[in-house]
Amino acid sequence: MTHAVIGHSVKRTDLLDKVTGNARYVADMPFPGLLFGKIKRCNVAHARIRRIDTARALALPGVKAVLTHENVPRVLHAGSPHPRSASVTCDQYILDDKVRYWGEGVAAVAAVSEEIAERALELIEVEYDTLPAVFTTEDAERSDAPRIHDREPGGNLVLPPVIIRRGDVEAGFAEADFILEGVYEGGRPTPAYMEPNVLTCSWDGNGNLTVWISTQTAFMVRGIMAEVLGLPLHKVRVLVDHMGGGFGAKQDLFQHEFLCALLARETRRPVRMEYTREETFLGGRTRHPAKIWLKQGFRNDGTITARQAKVVFNSGAYGSHGPGVTNVGTAAMVSLYRCDNVLLEGRCVYTNSPIAGAFRGYGVVQTYYALDVQMDEAAAHLGIDPAELKLKNAVREGDIAPSNHPLIGHGLEACIEKGMELVDWHALRRRPRDTSGPVRTGWGLGCEMHGSSAYPGIKEQGNAIIKMNEDGTVVLLTGAAGLGTGAHTALAQIVAEELTLPFEAVSVVHGDTDVVPWDIGAFASHTTYMVGKAAQMAAGEIKRQLLERAAKLMECKPEDLTLSAGVIAVRDRDGPTLTVREAVMPRKGIPAAQLVGTATYHPTKSYSFAAHFVEVAVDTETGFITVRQVVPVHDVGKVIHPVAAAGQIEGGIQQGIGHTLYEDYQIDMRTGRSLNANFVDYKMPLAMDTPEIRTVILEAAPDPGGPFGAKGVGEDPIVAIGPAIANAVFDAIGVRFRHYPIKPEQVLQALAEKAAREGRQP
């Protein structure tokens, strides 16, 4: 079926503002009498605060307020948006008398300039009673390990172990002809979004708080700030316009939100708090470092008979999204490749390390890396082509997904088959290898599946309100945040398509919690899928009202009318027609009625699929790995905006390349001190490092739960690229890496060890 608006790359609604520099981000906004807030951070990993003296800071000219744990509300909160108790842990205070990681905030100041605020931080004196610290999950789980939090479930576990069973795993291993097991590890990359965390807070004379903020979850910010500050919801207004990225991490509240509001209330002036780049590392969120023991049984024909895994996530000093990541990441391993007998255990552990939180690929980046790399290992042991092994075991329609819902369509199978065709996979596997120089090339395949929405872990909903103007144009009101991905453009396309109007006839109002309908936030690849479906339903309600109005004017029944290209006609009959504008406004300047459509959509569970085919070049003299080209094949159901979807895929691939080869936020394992909290020492791929990417978007398995069959695509590309690279490196040099990032020195060491085993010089 052809569509007039969706499936076309219309000009994004935010395009001109961004390319001209007119778009205003929070840090760009002027406020009369603005004060600048700053946070003092500790230089120990685990300690009690014995004494904190702010007298010298308060005496500094230009300082207007200083906050410590002694003069802020002591309300326990999750640090992550209320009310998502299924995903987060209630274990934080605004400021506490105990610090749990190096760099945690212990005080805050507001001053007339950033320079004075920084000077005031230096004048705050803090004395600590140092406590023993643990930085690895192994140390934290020892019976004699120091307790980082005094809370259930005891020890340093963030939550009780997650146990998932299907079938009989012992019987499955007994049936196996071959059993493979290994340990896989993931590092600690950070989101590295361009716009640092920033907000401005202001109170009016009636005790109303207004917050301008860069967040993915405006209504969740409103909810948790109201709860912690003791305010009713109508007293808190949150405004979000343009954002410079979030990648999941900006779901959390980062301590400075509460401090900024309290400083503004105390000084009776607007206060802005903007993280430095270093603070986005120190006070921000990372991906959860993980260690995964995985064991699988195979028949000689490649059939998987059993799968057992133990997954341990390092949550850092606070729980944040640890429960959600553990549940999602562990449950994911029941799927992707079919297996009837599964036993999985997931654990999430506190350490005195930087806080891990929500991040694109929420938990499955780690576990699918282990699963997909081991499938490649198994193929080598069994003498089966790795793509054929994955294709044989790929989940298909009717298989039970991690959410316990049956899958729709054969999306993964279609992605693998299409990619094999495009790269001529079998010919690549048979190609002669050039060993004349130091550079070796290889191809690898990585696969993934990812849910559109966080349901059923979170009982989500999408909401939309649409108003039709008297000239037949419409306004969509949505609470969905725009992270820079073009989400509002896609939502406008969906509305225009449903109402058969031109794209230009739809405008979008967003980013004001006092105006737009409630929204849970932009995460879990659900905005187009879930909010888009709500927008389509609201547009359908407008269409119903419109045809009822037109039926009265045309003296027929509403069901006899058709709406096409903005024109209303009587079905199967020649005669007069009405434009949408004429139906709404039969008398000049006076609308016939107020047409307003509202909708709430509760999602089911939808899954997108992808297969990434990757070519790498490995320099055996330097150990440096270069990704030469990527052929990503993605099933997204129905594509709404092709260029935006391709941009998501290509951006996710570049981010995943960084995680697999370069990025690792490191701490001193003796003191907990951050070692590379900046963009000089924290290495990421840049624009010149981008490989050739030949993006292929399939519409193999449309989902009836999404608008026009659309599914999510935001998180998928960062999942498949990692194992694809690792598998390609093995194809190039015959060395298997079970961790990320894979660094040049590790490549050289592995090559030397391989040469020693083979009795030759490296």
pLDDT in tens, 62-111: 999 999 999 999 999 988 765 555 678 889 999 999 999 999 999 999 99
CA 226, 229, 232, 237 torsion: positive or negative? Answer: negative
- Classify 355 in phi/psi space as left (phi over 0), alpha (psi -120 to 50) or beta: beta
pLDDT in tens, 704-762: 999 999 999 999 999 999 999 999 999 999 999 999 999 999 999 999 999 898 887 77
Domain 15-21+461-601 architecture: 2-Layer Sandwich (3.30)
Model confidence at 476, in pLDDT bands (50, 70, 90)?
Answer: very high
Report the CATH number of the 31-131+191-282 domain: 3.90.1170.50
Residue with tokens 């709430």: 600
Decide if 5 contacts 496 (C-beta within 8 A).
Answer: yes
| Count of Cβ atoms closer than 10 Å to residue 432 Cβ | 5
Exposure of 430 by Cβ count < 10 A (0-12 exposed, 13-18 middle, 19+ buried)? exposed
Q: In terms of Cα–Cα distance, which of 40, 46, 86 is closest to 66?
A: 40
What local confidence, expressed as pLDDT, does residue 629 receive? 98
> Which strand (E) or helix (H) includes residue 732?
helix 716-733
What local confidence, expressed as pLDDT, does residue 85 receive? 59
Q: In terms of Cα–Cα distance, which of 533, 529, 476, 535 is closest to 714?
A: 529
What local confidence, expressed as pLDDT, does residue 456 receive? 76
pLDDT in tens, 123-141: 999 999 999 999 999 999 9
Q: How far apart are CA 309 and CA 637, in angstroms?
A: 31
> What are the angstrom distances between the C-alpha of 248 and each of 316, 534, 712?
17, 22, 15
* Tokens linked to 106: 């212990």
- Per the DSSP assignment, residues forming a β-bridge with 705 are none
* Tokens linked to 411: 């999306």
- Classify 189 in phi/psi space as left (phi over 0), alpha (psi -120 to 50) or beta: beta
Longest CA pairwise span in the chain (Å): 92
What local confidence, expressed as pLDDT, does residue 525 receive? 85
> What are the angstrom distances between the C-alpha of 453 and each of 523, 651, 717?
8, 20, 16
Residues with Cβ < 8 Å from 616, sequence gap 6 or more? 441, 442, 443, 444, 625, 626, 627, 628, 725, 728, 729, 732
pLDDT above 70 (res 495):
yes
Q: In terms of Cα–Cα distance, which of 4, 170, 38, 6 is closest to 528?
A: 6
Amino acid in position 247: F
Decide if 746 contacts 740 (C-beta within 8 A).
Answer: no
pLDDT in tens, 654-671: 999 999 999 999 999 999
pLDDT in tens, 153-175: 779 999 999 999 999 999 999 99
| Count of Cβ atoms closer than 10 Å to residue 356 Cβ | 29
pLDDT in tens, 555-582: 899 999 999 999 999 998 887 899 999 8
Going by the DSSP 8-state scheme, the letter that residue 559 receives in this structure is: G
* Tokens linked to 58: 């308060």
Residues of the chain with CATH 3.30.365.10: 15-21+461-601, 133-189+285-393, 406-442+608-762
pLDDT above 70 (res 263):
yes
Q: Mean pLDDT, to the nearest integer, of 614-631?
A: 98
Q: Mean pLDDT, to the nearest integer, of 511-532?
A: 91
* Tokens linked to 79: 């640090």
Mean of pLDDT over the chain: 94
Decide if 721 contacts 612 (C-beta within 8 A).
Answer: yes
Decide if 657 contacts 685 (C-beta within 8 A).
Answer: yes
Decide if 344 contacts 176 (C-beta within 8 A).
Answer: no
Going by the DSSP 8-state scheme, the letter that residue 593 receives in this structure is: S
Q: In terms of Cα–Cα distance, which of 481, 167, 134, 482 is closest to 315?
A: 134
pTM above 0.85, yes or no: yes
What local confidence, expressed as pLDDT, does residue 81 receive? 64
List the strands of the sheet with 578-579, edge to edge: 561-564, 567-570, 578-579
N- to C-terminal Cα distance for the chain?
59
What local confidence, expressed as pLDDT, does residue 604 receive? 83
Q: In terms of Cα–Cα distance, which of 327, 333, 361, 365 is closest to 346?
A: 327
> Apex CA 588: angle with CA 584 and CA 592, to 5°?
30
- Per the DSSP assignment, residues forming a β-bridge with 609 are 449, 635
Residues with Cβ < 8 Å from 531, sequence gap 6 or more? 462, 463, 464, 478, 480, 487, 491, 519, 601
Q: How far apart are CA 117 and CA 570, in angstroms?
A: 70
Residue 319 backbone phi and psi in degrees, to 5 = -70, -40
Residues with Cβ < 8 Å from 234, sequence gap 6 or more? none
pLDDT above 60 (res 323):
yes
Alpha-helix residue ranges (DSSP H) falling in 501-640: 532-554, 580-584
Q: How far apart are CA 321 and CA 327, in angstroms?
A: 10
What local confidence, expressed as pLDDT, does residue 420 receive? 98
* Tokens linked to 175: 């049936």
Amino acid in position 456: P
pLDDT in tens, 277-307: 999 999 999 999 999 999 999 999 999 999 9
Q: In terms of Cα–Cα distance, which of 84, 130, 677 is closest to 354?
A: 677
Q: How far apart are CA 294 and CA 225, in angstroms?
A: 41
Q: In terms of Cα–Cα distance, which of 690, 674, 686, 535 is closest to 601?
A: 535
Name the CATH topology of 133-189+285-393: Aldehyde Oxidoreductase; domain 4 (3.30.365)
Q: Which of 8-22, 604-618, 675-689, 718-732 has the lowest mean pLDDT?
A: 8-22
What local confidence, expressed as pLDDT, does residue 84 receive? 58
Exposure of 32 by Cβ count < 10 A (0-12 exposed, 13-18 middle, 19+ buried)? exposed
Model confidence at 7, in pLDDT bands (50, 70, 90)?
Answer: very high
Q: How far apart are CA 445 and CA 260, in angstroms?
A: 47
Q: Which of 22-26, 126-130, 265-269, 482-486 has the lowest mean pLDDT?
A: 482-486
Q: How far apart are CA 640 and CA 713, in angstroms?
A: 11
* Tokens linked to 92: 């934080």
pLDDT above 80 (res 194):
yes
Query: Domain 406-442+608-762 has what CATH class?
Result: alpha beta
